[in-house]
Chain A
Amino acid sequence: MRFDSADKGRGEPRDKPRGRRGRQSAYRGTSFVARRLILGGVQTVAVVLLVFALTEALPGDAAVALAGDQPDPARIAAIREAMHLDRPAYERLADWAAGLPHGDFGTSLASGRPVSQYISDGFGPTLLLAALTVVLLLPLGFGLGVLAARHEGRLIDRLVSSATLAVYAVPEFALGVLLVGVVALRLGWLPPTAVGYGTDLLAHPAALVLPVLVLLSRPVCSLARLVRAGMIDALAAPYAVHARRYGVPGARVRYAHALPNALAPAAQQLARTVDWLLCGVIVVEALFVIPGLGTVLLNAVAERDVPVVQGLAVVFGVLTVVLNLGADLVAHRFAPRAGVAA
């Protein structure tokens, strides 16, 4: 875990001037980025192969899933043939992989529509939710973390800490049901779902409030707790003490010296959060009827629609790689000693 190695670096005195360090990391960064990109590519391919292998290993195929409770063997065979599922797995994989370089993700087994259309349709709502959540998450998470760290051990800190722990413990589904029940149905302040709005969610901003709240709830807590811990460590570190001794104002010590150290783990946590937001908002999408990638994935898995699952796996794989790359670069920039492993 990168995160652990970041911990190790924390607290050691900084002895190099900032400028030099920046240059050095930019130099080291090049090969670092290259290595990370290659690794990312390998990871993506591995994810896709794994998904393909797992889908093949599942009991039943798309034909069986489509036949449902009318598993007439002749009909299953006909569906299989119509979908070209009677061809060997490696041929299907090769065909599909050959299309990827030209952005051709293949066609859905269930509908015959291009997979790229599934992805582009589902991307909008998920991206919107993720973007809104992140925009609110950053000030909230950092704000709460810094606030708690400033008042370490005092009432505010204890309030923030216990509240974040409590909220973190509530599963999204439960929180969503609760919020809908109270805010939407009892008080009638907000619409309970986004049903019928399709992808045009921005035209109905009220429908976004509850989903974003549910999405925010847990990341805010984990981010605030991380920032708090990082800040406390950094503020207690000799260099911060040193800076203070030289009469550097408290705010400057906090934000210019201590906060960057807390940023490295936070950036990585954030990357994971965004990753989760983009790939894993299934619960929220299902609860609020938001037709995003989570819904597409859920349906595709249920229907054994392998090309769609694979297409999503590629997208998620690439996203994960890019986001983590970005996070590592940020961590690298702010806390180079953290020794981010490539």
Chain B
Amino acid sequence: MNLPGLHRRGFLAATGAASLGALALTGCGSSDGPATSEGDGKPRRGGRLRAAFAGGGASETLDPHLANLFVDVARAKALFDKLADYGPDLAAEPRLATKWEANKTLDRWQVTLREATFHDGRPVTAADVLHSYRRIADPKQAFRAKASLEPIDLAASRATGERSIEFVLKRPTAEFPNVLAAFGAYIVPEGATDFDKKPIGSGPFRFASFTPGRSAVVRRYDDYWDGAPYLDELEFVVANEESARVNALLGGQVEYAHELNPTTARAHENQGQIEIVRLRNSAMQAFVMKTDRPPFDDRRVRQAFFLIADRRELVDGALSGAGEIGNDLFGKGYEYYADALPQREQDLDRARALLKQAGADNLKVTLDTSAVAAGFTEAASIFRDQARKAGVTIEVKMGSKDSYWSDVLDSGTLACYRSGAMPIEAHISQRLLTDSTTNATKWQHKDFDALYQQAQSTRDKTERAAVYERMQRRLYTEGGFLVWGFADWILGTARNVKGVERDAPANTLDWARFDKVWLG
């Protein structure tokens, strides 16, 4: 049975990081929010919005630290807050924390909390924050944010007041705010356990009801520190089939449908029935080359592969045109992205010459792919055809959907890859350092590690940006990620839904955010 679009294990993937982004207020009527749909008019209070997401079935939970799927995050975001979250450029922005200050060596951070209350009226305190972080870091548990919180020495960190915390770090970390914004690092009240029956958070909505895999209803929290939401109620419903989400939206059964196909979007864009929202730069699309083994241990072969890719053709074919071309670097449009580097173009003659130099003419490579993410199998066959023109024989191998990511982490030589949005710093620390836990390209270089440490101990932002640029230049020249595109994340909304932020890559604060949305 080939049901289209059952890849509900979202794209989230991005692990780690995440947070708030900027312009928390966009869309709430202030006219300075860039890129909000124009002409949304004055926000109105009231109504219930129903939002359809692909879900996790009966196993879903409201425990925000277990959030793994998009729908989990959207619900967690409605009920809970993080200390920080990612803006549209993936820089951390304050949320529950009003400010953070580092000492000179960047290994002790003072974080001050704003005055906020949980839904039961208790204030959010330093003790709650430490409790939440210690819960995530519990060695007996496997919460997703654990890896992100790793830089913090939680045993040494302490509350210095009701609303101030001193975080002691294991090493200098200039990008510490990214940790506060990490994917899944939500603040729960001290002692909270029963998340499915009565979750209490400090988020914009209060819990009303929840049936795993079906529906979760939340109501406006009037005392929310960032201003009460406009909606009276928000209901999350789960529909795993993309066609079901679209049909429900078209039939007026929901007002917001997450994760639509490019073809659906094209069919309904500007048709007047529903609004299509494209969140740019949401998902990196790449091939990974394992740099520690033949043939990719020769940098000339990697460079030849960079030159083989016709990125426009890949974006048009594998993403149905819904995206932008990549330049072999992660994080287009994000803070610290090296956008001064020239756009790579296909150059088959040079590719052939490089392969010849490397003694790799008549090269044969196996490309691992799987139906685990949209466009993967298409990208593989398109790239196979492109490579043939350069004299490279690529054999496409289909892998299992459910174990794909762990299968390709260590085995194979060339594989389809994608990643959700996260700060460039997180991408580097999780995937490109010698001891990174998910280093799929096997990029392991002491000098590169040293550059990362240097960036993390550089206080000055401009200097730090320069270090990041050096690292990216190196990856651009000879790295293992052939980043050919960035996919749009596509949503559909009913025409009366206003204030949906458009400049919000998936995983950032303004994505799947409903407290600034209203029904017109």
Q: Report A's interface with B, CB cutoff 8 A.
A: 58-60, 64-76, 78-79, 82, 108, 110-111, 113, 117-118, 121-122, 173, 177, 180, 184-185, 188, 191-193, 195-196, 198-199, 282-283, 286-289, 291, 295-296, 298-300, 302-305, 308
Give CA–CA (A188, B251) in the complex, Å: 8
Output the residue of B10, B15, B243, B247 with the most chain A CB within 10 A.
B247
Partner of B247, one of A72, A192, A300, A303: A192
**Which of chain B's residues have a CB closer than 8 A to the CB of A69?**
9, 11-13, 15, 372, 405, 418-419
Give CA–CA (A298, B401) in the complex, Å: 14
Give CA–CA (A75, B15) in the complex, Å: 12
Asked if residues A287 and B403 are in contact (CB atoms below 8 Å), the reply is no
For the A-B complex, the count of residue pairs with Cβ-Cβ distances under 8 Å equals: 177
Partner of B61, one of A76, A111, A198: A111
**Which of chain B's residues have a CB closer than 8 A to the CB of A79?**
142
Chain B interface size, under 10 / 10 to 19 / 20 to 34 / 35 or more = 35 or more
Give CA–CA (A58, B142) in the complex, Å: 23
Asked if residues A287 and B235 are in contact (CB atoms below 8 Å), the reply is no
Answer whether A185 and B8 are a contact pair too, CB < 8 Å, given A70-B15, A118-B58, A289-B244: no
Output the residue of A65, A117, A122, A282 with the most chain B CB within 10 A.
A65
Asked if residues B400 and A196 are in contact (CB atoms below 8 Å), the reply is no
Partner of B403, one of A60, A121, A305: A60
Other than the given A64-B406, A73-B406, A196-B215, 18 more pairs (CB < 8 A) read A60-B403, A67-B406, A68-B12, A69-B11, A69-B15, A69-B372, A69-B405, A70-B438, A75-B147, A110-B56, A111-B60, A113-B212, A117-B58, A199-B214, A286-B6, A296-B213, A298-B57, A299-B59
Give CA–CA (A78, B61) in the complex, Å: 19
Give CA–CA (A142, B28) in the complex, Å: 61
Asked if residues B247 and A110 are in contact (CB atoms below 8 Å), the reply is no
B184 smallest CB distance to A (angstroms): 11
Asked if residues A185 and B250 are in contact (CB atoms below 8 Å), the reply is yes
Interface of B is mostly: loop
Partner of A193, one of B58, B214, B251, B418: B251
**Which of chain A's residues have a CB closer than 8 A to the CB of B185?**
none
Q: Chain B 134-172, CB within 8 Å of chain A: the 1/0 string?
A: 000001111010110000000000000000000000000
B497 smallest CB distance to A (angstroms): 16
Partner of A75, one of B52, B59, B437: B437
Asked if residues B244 and A65 are in contact (CB atoms below 8 Å), the reply is no
Partner of B57, one of A59, A72, A295: A295
Asked if residues B248 and A299 are in contact (CB atoms below 8 Å), the reply is no
Asked if residues A121 and B58 are in contact (CB atoms below 8 Å), the reply is yes
**Which of chain B's residues have a CB closer than 8 A to the CB of A296?**
57-58, 213
Asked if residues A195 and B405 are in contact (CB atoms below 8 Å), the reply is no
10 cross-chain pairs, A with B, having the tightest CB-CB distances, nearest first: A60-B403, A299-B57, A71-B406, A110-B59, A72-B437, A192-B247, A192-B251, A78-B142, A69-B13, A111-B59
B63 smallest CB distance to A (angstroms): 10
Answer whether A302 and B244 are a contact pair too, CB < 8 Å, given A111-B59, A193-B251, A195-B254: no
- A sample of 21 cross-chain residue pairs with beta-carbon separation below 8 angstroms, ordered by A number, consists of A59-B402, A69-B405, A69-B419, A70-B13, A70-B15, A71-B409, A72-B438, A108-B58, A111-B61, A117-B58, A185-B250, A191-B253, A192-B248, A193-B248, A195-B244, A286-B244, A288-B244, A289-B239, A298-B240, A299-B56, A308-B58
**Which of chain A's residues have a CB closer than 8 A to the CB of B281?**
none
B26 smallest CB distance to A (angstroms): 28
A310 smallest CB distance to B (angstroms): 15
237-262 of chain B: CB within 8 A of chain A: 237-241, 243-245, 247-248, 250-251, 253-254
B1 at the A interface (CB under 8 A): yes
Give CA–CA (A299, B9) in the complex, Å: 10
A291 smallest CB distance to B (angstroms): 5
Answer whether A195 and B58 are a contact pair too, CB < 8 Å, given A60-B403, A286-B244: no
B320 at the A interface (CB under 8 A): no
Partner of B402, one of A64, A108, A195, A299: A64
Give CA–CA (A177, B298) in the complex, Å: 51
Asked if residues A184 and B57 are in contact (CB atoms below 8 Å), the reply is no
Residue of A nearest to B13 (CB): A69
**Which of chain A's residues have a CB closer than 8 A to the CB of B202?**
none
Give CA–CA (A286, B61) in the complex, Å: 21
B340 at the A interface (CB under 8 A): no
Give CA–CA (A295, B212) in the complex, Å: 12
Give CA–CA (A291, B215) in the complex, Å: 11
B50 at the A interface (CB under 8 A): yes
Q: Chain B 115-138, CB within 8 Å of chain A: the 1/0 string?
A: 000000000000000000000000
Give CA–CA (A188, B141) in the complex, Å: 49
Partner of A113, one of B58, B146, B403: B58
Asked if residues A302 and B402 are in contact (CB atoms below 8 Å), the reply is yes
Asked if residues B68 and A282 are in contact (CB atoms below 8 Å), the reply is no
Asked if residues B437 and A195 are in contact (CB atoms below 8 Å), the reply is no
Residue of B nearest to A118 (CB): B58
Give CA–CA (A4, B388) in the complex, Å: 54
Asked if residues A64 and B253 are in contact (CB atoms below 8 Å), the reply is no
**Which of chain B's residues have a CB closer than 8 A to the CB of A299?**
56-59, 213, 240
Asked if residues A184 and B247 are in contact (CB atoms below 8 Å), the reply is yes
Partner of A283, one of B3, B146, B239, B409: B3
Asked if residues B68 and A66 are in contact (CB atoms below 8 Å), the reply is yes
B407 at the A interface (CB under 8 A): yes
**Which of chain B's residues have a CB closer than 8 A to the CB of A177?**
243
Partner of A198, one of B144, B211, B250, B409: B211
B264 smallest CB distance to A (angstroms): 13
Partner of B1, one of A67, A70, A282: A282
Give CA–CA (A67, B407) in the complex, Å: 12
Output the residue of A59, A67, A72, A122 with the most chain B CB within 10 A.
A72
Give CA–CA (A146, B59) in the complex, Å: 47
Residue of B nearest to A188 (CB): B251
Asked if residues B405 and A71 are in contact (CB atoms below 8 Å), the reply is yes
A106 smallest CB distance to B (angstroms): 14
B206 smallest CB distance to A (angstroms): 19
**Which of chain A's residues have a CB closer than 8 A to the CB of B144?**
70, 75
362-414 of chain B: CB within 8 A of chain A: 372, 400-403, 405-407, 409
**Which of chain A's residues have a CB closer than 8 A to the CB of B403?**
59-60, 64-65
**Which of chain A's residues have a CB closer than 8 A to the CB of B8?**
302
Residue of A nearest to B56 (CB): A299
**Which of chain B's residues have a CB closer than 8 A to the CB of A193?**
239, 244, 247-248, 251, 253
Give CA–CA (A18, B440) in the complex, Å: 75
**Which of chain A's residues have a CB closer than 8 A to the CB of B240?**
286, 289, 295, 298-299
B219 smallest CB distance to A (angstroms): 16
**Which of chain A's residues have a CB closer than 8 A to the CB of B215?**
196, 198
Asked if residues B213 and A291 are in contact (CB atoms below 8 Å), the reply is yes
